[in-house]
Amino acid sequence: MQSMTSLVADVTAFVDDLAEAVGRLSGKGADAHRQEVLIEASNLVGSIIDSDGRQADTELDPFLDAIGPGLQPPLIVTASRLREGGMLDGRRTWLQSPSVLFDLLLRADVRDGERRSHRYYVGALRLAHLTAALDLVPSADEIAAIDRFRTMLLKAMDTAGINRPGQPQLPRTPPSAPGAPPAAAAAGDSEAPRVDVQLPPERSIDELMAELDELVGLDRVKAEVRRLTSLLHVQQLRHERGLPTIETSKHLVFSGNPGTGKTTVARLLSQIYRAVGVVSQGHLVETDRSKLVAGYVGQTALKTQQTLEAALGGMLLIDEAYALARGGENDFGREAIDTLVKFMEDHRDDLAIVAAGYTEEMNGFIDTNPGLKSRFTRTVHFADYTADELVAIFLKLGEKHRYHCSDDALAQVRHLIDAEPRTRGFGNARFVRNLFETAVSHQAMRVAPLTDPSDEQLTTFTAADIVPVDS
């Protein structure tokens, strides 16, 4: 009965909130619109239930309890009769395009600058996740349906020119605090590892997901993060309501070449984990073999333990993690792995670990220890950036630092990116950051002799400034 009660409360909250918003628009008051908003909730909850085709009693009973009595006429039937009657069959298609109600709110926002569509977005996604939480294990189809629904709403906001939930209405000023802005983050994983960290300010899930969306490229990575976030969110909702849950591993393997955004995504993911309640603090600690392995017996375990304790409440990112398994049976890296596995088991409720590195080597690393293989069950692959994406990263760096390219400079940027060999050592966004910093240096040397340079001269790259990195 607890799952029914919780769904009733959230359907009621959704109806109350949006009926009030629509009532203000129409001038008729909230009561005049409760029925149409309840039908909206019915469509949404029914669509998630139908998304995997199962329509189990554990889903239909709460649907009937939360939706049925308020409909006109009331829907008072059993779950089996509802299923046999096919009332929800095909309802999943409702998620494919903006509803009339959402479109109404969006158009009103465009007209008067309000953000009623954000209220819809937050309430609708909460209902969607609560519906998925009716199952002990949300199906992959349900999680995918929620992701498609979220993406559809955000694209509609983009088309209308409305900022996404979590995005400021004014142009964003890049912060200096932890949680780097998208432009800097997309330019690679260059921040130095540290153990002493300042906890990041608590941020909403909408703000964090908006920042994830803004990263250049990484489409498959973003989709995987959204699916994992939904799954963890659903399990957390069940836990809060005293419902049975299954343990979902928070530990991940990030595979891919250098400079593909692994650290950037880990930094965001650590804060997303806090926002959905699976870790308590949400900070990221970055490390590698040199900071875990000592040269003497017994010292490696202590060194590794200290690093792990610094990451408690957040996430530990181990760069080139496969290096721990090199050196044979007597190498102290094995001691670090053993300490790591034990600590993961002892602190499973408030720690996430990401092991990162080249794809082939990471596959071998996970196979070196049964404890690793059982805990790192999900791999997220970071593909190399395309040439267009690398150009976009260069331009984002320019926006952040107030530089822009002349047409010939932009053509030279693309030429140098296209000409760079895509060998194993290619740095992706790190290469672009180096290219940008080289351009800044050459532009400064060109402008410095000018007696009174204009703002345009101080902020413009020409083709002469865009030179190979080692020039």
Indicate whether 169 belongs to any domain.
Answer: no
Query: pLDDT per residue over 325-349, tens digit each?
Result: 776 555 677 788 888 888 888 888 8
CA distances from 209 to 140, 182, 225, 364, 424 (A): 20, 11, 9, 32, 31
Low-confidence ranges of the chain (pLDDT < 50): 1-5, 170-194
pLDDT at 297: 59
Q: Look at residues 348, 382, 416 and tell me which one is the last residue of a structural domain.
A: 382
Asked if 329 and 424 sit in the same domain, the reply is no
Asked if 393 and 313 sit in the same domain, the reply is no
CATH number at residue 282: 3.40.50.300
Is residue 291 within 8 Å of 193, Cβ to Cβ?
Answer: yes
pLDDT at 416: 93
> How many domains does the chain divide into?
3
pLDDT at 180: 39
Question: What domain range is 72 assigned to?
Answer: 2-160
Asked if 300 and 349 sit in the same domain, the reply is yes
Residue 297 burial by Cβ neighbours in a 10 Å radius (0-12, 13-18, 19+)? exposed
| DSSP state string for 312-379 | TTSEEEETTGGGGG-S-TTSTHHHHHHHHHHHHHHTTTS-EEEEEE-HHHHHHHHTT-HHHHHH---E
CA distances from 372 to 301, 318, 431 (A): 17, 13, 32
Asked if 253 and 271 sit in the same domain, the reply is yes
Distance from C-alpha of 456 to C-alpha of 404, rounded to nearest angstrom:
9
pLDDT at 268: 92
Indicate whether 174 belongs to any domain.
Answer: no
pLDDT at 330: 56
Indicate whether 138 belongs to any domain.
Answer: yes
Query: pLDDT per residue over 213-249, tens digit each?
Result: 889 999 999 998 988 888 888 888 888 888 887 777 8
Asked if 153 and 217 sit in the same domain, the reply is no
pLDDT at 393: 93
Indicate whether 199 belongs to any domain.
Answer: yes
Note the pTM of the prediction, 2 decimals. 0.71
pLDDT at 177: 40
Residue 78 DSSP label:
-
Asked if 155 and 299 sit in the same domain, the reply is no
Q: Look at residues 336, 358, 382 and tell me which one is the last residue of a structural domain.
A: 382
pLDDT at 196: 53
